[in-house]
Amino acid sequence: MIRNILIRAPNHLGDCIMAMPMINEAREAYPGSTVTVLAPEHLVELYTGNPAVDGTLSIPLRHVHGLIGVVKIKEIIAPGKFDIGFILPPSFGAASAFKLVGIRERIGYIADGRRLLLTRPLPLPAPLNSEHRSRVYFNLLRRASGVELEYVQPRLFLAETDVQAGERLLAGFDVAPDDDYVAIAFRAVAESRRWGIDRYTELILELLNRSRLKVVLVGSSDDRKAGDDIVEAVDRSRVVNLAGKTSLTELAAVFARADLLIGNDSGPAHLAAAVGSPLVVLSGADDPKETSPISDRKRLIYRDNLACISCVKNRCPNKGDDFMRCMKEITVDAVLGKVDEILREV
């Protein structure tokens, strides 16, 4: 039986990567079906080249949240006449549009008071946050379909055109095809996960002094000014700032060519892991067992001796000497040590 499946993707880059195993196996769970992914417009390109996805639908950023957004999303998905809807964001609003449009089978986890909006409301793993989020997404598909699927870690499919676009982008900043470079995601969105521009600047200076590597800075358009400040403080001939200058697939292609990525538990780190780049991840307020990028080539730096570690707060609630200890106690030497470990394996 052919069924049209709609998967509402998460709202953030890291979660979208963590949801890849679930999305990639949807047709395996429902043979012969078509799979469409509904995602915020800035994340849709993650799925357009995916051979496991038949089509995509884009949500304008202004309509991702809110009551008006529910109505607009209903209008976006109504022409598709979908039979099954998987709703990965845990919000009431994300489930509301699927209910309003009349998708017959609506599957999601019980959260945010939306049990009655779902035809298959499934309980989250107990205790909460005890399982990696990627497996939580994957198990939603496995439990709903009743098919014993094999979990395969997140993977992003890059087309040759994506790889070529990444090479052209790097060439425009004098990073040649035979240049070795380290990518650095130097500024996390959440304040509690920021190691600090001064620390990253010190790290880059050490990397430049100790090796012939180039450094490619990555981030959003909001990070561009801070990236420019780092470039001004170091060797501009060997450090380039791509913050806000790449598409997601271009960024993924940059990571795929890099010797490694250094950064926090963040969207870019998940993206780098999904294209096979080695990682050095600075972890603090995040919870590695729930959200750390999944990679066999990862080094995690994590001050697990702290009582407040993995608080998952976006702002550190501590004061005085305890403020941001999880980040402050990660030294430049500690990061360099992990970098050396990975470079010896490359």
Which pLDDT score is estimated for 127?
Answer: 82
Q: Does 155 reside within a domain?
A: no
Instruction: Check residue 333 and report its DSSP letter.
Output: H
Full-model pTM: 0.95
Q: Are residues 123 and 110 in contact, defined by beta-carbon separation less than 8 angstroms? A: yes
Q: Does 238 reside within a domain?
A: yes
Helix-helix angle 197-210:332-345, to 10 degrees: 40
> Could you read off the pLDDT of 114-133 as tens digits, one per residue?
999 999 999 998 887 789 99
Helix-helix angle 197-210:224-233, to 10 degrees: 40
Torsion of the alpha carbons at 165, 296, 145 and 13, rounded to the nearest 10 = -40
Whether 340 and 203 share a structural domain:
yes
- With tokens 């870690």, the residue in question is 153
Q: Which of 145, 175, 203 lies at the terminal end of a domain, its last residue?
A: 145
Q: Are residues 329 and 195 in contact, defined by beta-carbon separation less than 8 angstroms? A: no
For residue 88, the tally of other CB atoms under 10 A from its CB is: 27
Closest CA to 235 of 210, 260, 257: 210
Phi/psi for 100 (5° steps) reads -65, -35
Whether 52 and 134 share a structural domain:
yes
Q: Does 159 reside within a domain?
A: no
> Could you read off the pLDDT of 250-278 as tens digits, one per residue?
999 999 999 999 999 899 999 999 999 99
What does the mean pLDDT of the chain come to? Answer: 95
Range of the domain at 8: 4-145
